[in-house]
Amino acid sequence: MNQQIRKSVAPAQGIQPRLDPEGLFDPRYKEFLETVSHLRVKLHRYCARMTGSALDGEDIMQEVLFEAYRKIELLDDAQALRPWLFRIAHNRCIDFIRSRRARQRAEAGYAGDEIVLPVEPAGPGAGRAIERLVVHLPPKERACVLLKDVFDHSLEEIADLVGSTSGGVKSALNRGRAKLAVLPAQPVAAPAHDAELARLLERYVELFNKRDWDGVRALTSADARLRVSDCYNGLLSSSPYFAEFERSELPWRIRPGAFEGENVLVVDRLHGEVWRPAYLVRIHADGGVIDRISDYYACPWILDMASADAG
C-alpha cells in the first residue's frame, strides 16, 4: 500500500507533479485520490460531524487530501495511513471551528467543567441522532465521542489524534456522553431567508437550465472561484465547467433546494422517466454577485448521509 501511495506521487521521467493542486488536477493527484478512496466516507463523516455541516466537512476533506498529497513522503508506515489522515482532518476541523468562532457558541451552555458520573458508552455505530448532536459539545469532547463511539478508535489512538492522554480522553468521553444523554433531539433549522440570495439563485437556475452560459457568467464576479471535488480548484473563468454540462450524456436539470439549514442547488439526473437528485452545488454570493461555487458531483456520501439522517 505504501509503495502504491508513493508511486502515485513519484514523478515520471521528465515530469514534475504539482504539489499544490490548482486548476485541473493532474493525473498523479487523481492516482493518489484512488489510493485513499477506501477511507473517504469515514473521513468525510468525521469532518462533517465535527463541523456540523456535510458540505463544510467535504471542503475540509479536500484540504486534508491536498495536505496529505504534499506530505506523503513523511509517511513511512503504510499501516499508519488511516490515523495519519484522521490526525490531519482533526487539526483542520479544529482550525475551522476556531476560525468560525463555533467553539464559543458550542461551549456557551457548558461553560463549567463540572464533575459528572461515568456514562456507559454508546458503542461503535452510535445512533445517528446522537452522532448529529455531538456538534453541541466542545471540540475535544466532540472529537473523543466521535472517535470512540462512532469510529471505534482505542483510547491510545484518540489520545494521539487529539493531543491528550488516555486519562484525558476518558474524562472528555464521560463529560461528552453525560451532556449528550440529556440533550433533546433537535430538528434541522430551516434556511434563513435571504431575499437577495433567493432571487440570485432563481435567476441562476433559470439561465443554467436554458444553457445560457453567457447569462450565467454575467451573474458571477470576474475573479469567482470554482471548486469541483476531486477535479478542479481555481478560477471559474479558467475552468471547463459549463462545457462539462453540455457534454453530459444523461439529461439533467438544476433546482433550488435546502440542505442542513442552507440554501443549495440540487442537480437532478433523469433515470428513465424519473428525476433523481444526483449531487449538490453550493453557491456563495457577495454584494449580489456570485463569487464562489462548490460542486460536489464526486461526493455521493453527502446525499447518502442526508438519506441516513432522514431515516
Please tell me whether residues 200 and 247 are part of one structural domain. yes
256 vs 105, more confident: 256
**291 in a structural domain:** yes
**187 in a structural domain:** no
Confidence band of 99 (pLDDT split at 50, 70, 90): confident
pLDDT of residue 266: 96
**190 in a structural domain:** no
**189 in a structural domain:** no
Taking only the tens place, the pLDDT of each residue in 145-183 is: 999 999 999 999 999 999 999 999 999 999 999 999 888
Please tell me whether residues 261 and 280 are part of one structural domain. yes
Q: Given 46, 69, 99, which residue is the final one in a domain?
A: 99
User: How distant, in Å, are the alpha carbons of 180, 209, 246, 293 from that of 152?
Assistant: 18, 45, 44, 35
Q: Given 147, 182, 217, which residue is the final one in a domain?
A: 182
Confidence band of 44 (pLDDT split at 50, 70, 90): very high
Please tell me whether residues 121 and 158 are part of one structural domain. yes
User: How distant, in Å, are the alpha carbons of 39, 120, 146, 183 from that of 131?
Assistant: 19, 16, 7, 12
- Report the C-alpha gap between 305 and 282 in whole angstroms: 17
What is the maximal distance between C-alpha atoms in the chain? 62
Question: Whole-angstrom distance between the N-terminal and C-terminal Cα of the chain?
Answer: 36
C-alpha cell at 304: 447518502
Say which amino acid occupies 266: V
Is the pLDDT score of 109 beyond 90?
no
What percentage of the chain exceeds 70 in pLDDT? 80
Give how many domains the chain has, as a whole number: 3
308 vs 304, more confident: 304
pLDDT of residue 124: 43
Please report the beta strands in 23-94, taking only residues with DSSP state E, as ranges in sequence order: 23-24
294 vs 16, more confident: 294
Is the pLDDT score of 55 beyond 70?
yes
Taking only the tens place, the pLDDT of each residue in 228-268 is: 999 999 999 999 999 989 888 889 999 999 998 889 999 99
Please tell me whether residues 125 and 147 are part of one structural domain. yes
CATH of the domain at 273: 3.10.450.50
Please tell me whether residues 91 and 21 are part of one structural domain. yes
Please tell me whether residues 83 and 127 are part of one structural domain. no
Tell me which H or E stretch contains 294. strand 289-295
CATH of the domain at 77: 1.10.1740.10
103 vs 195, more confident: 195
Q: Given 79, 99, 119, which residue is the final one in a domain?
A: 99
Q: 157: which residues sit within 8 A by CB, 6+ positions away?
A: 83, 147
pLDDT of residue 10: 52
- Report the C-alpha gap between 57 and 44 in whole angstroms: 6
275 vs 9, more confident: 275
Please tell me whether residues 171 and 215 are part of one structural domain. no
Strand 220-228, strand 289-295: pairing: parallel
CATH of the domain at 135: 1.10.10.10
Instruction: Return the bridge partners of 233, or none.
Output: 23, 227
Please tell me whether residues 81 and 31 are part of one structural domain. yes
Tell me which H or E stretch contains 277. strand 274-286
Please tell me whether residues 200 and 286 are part of one structural domain. yes
Please tell me whether residues 304 and 200 are part of one structural domain. yes
Say which amino acid occupies 115: I
Please tell me whether residues 62 and 78 are part of one structural domain. yes
Confidence band of 78 (pLDDT split at 50, 70, 90): low
State which residues form the domain around 153. 102-182
pTM for this predicted structure: 0.83
Is the pLDDT score of 11 beyond 70?
no
Is the pLDDT score of 220 beyond 60?
yes
Is the pLDDT score of 290 beyond 80?
yes
**81 in a structural domain:** yes
- Report the C-alpha gap between 46 and 151 in whole angstroms: 9
Please tell me whether residues 146 and 40 are part of one structural domain. no
- Report the C-alpha gap between 232 and 246 in whole angstroms: 17
pLDDT of residue 103: 44
Q: Which is nearest to 44 in space by CA: 66, 25, 63, 60?
A: 60
**276 in a structural domain:** yes
Is the pLDDT score of 34 beyond 80?
yes
Residue 44 near residue 12, CB atoms below 8 Å: no
Confidence band of 297 (pLDDT split at 50, 70, 90): very high
**135 in a structural domain:** yes
pLDDT of residue 2: 54
Is the pLDDT score of 1 beyond 90?
no
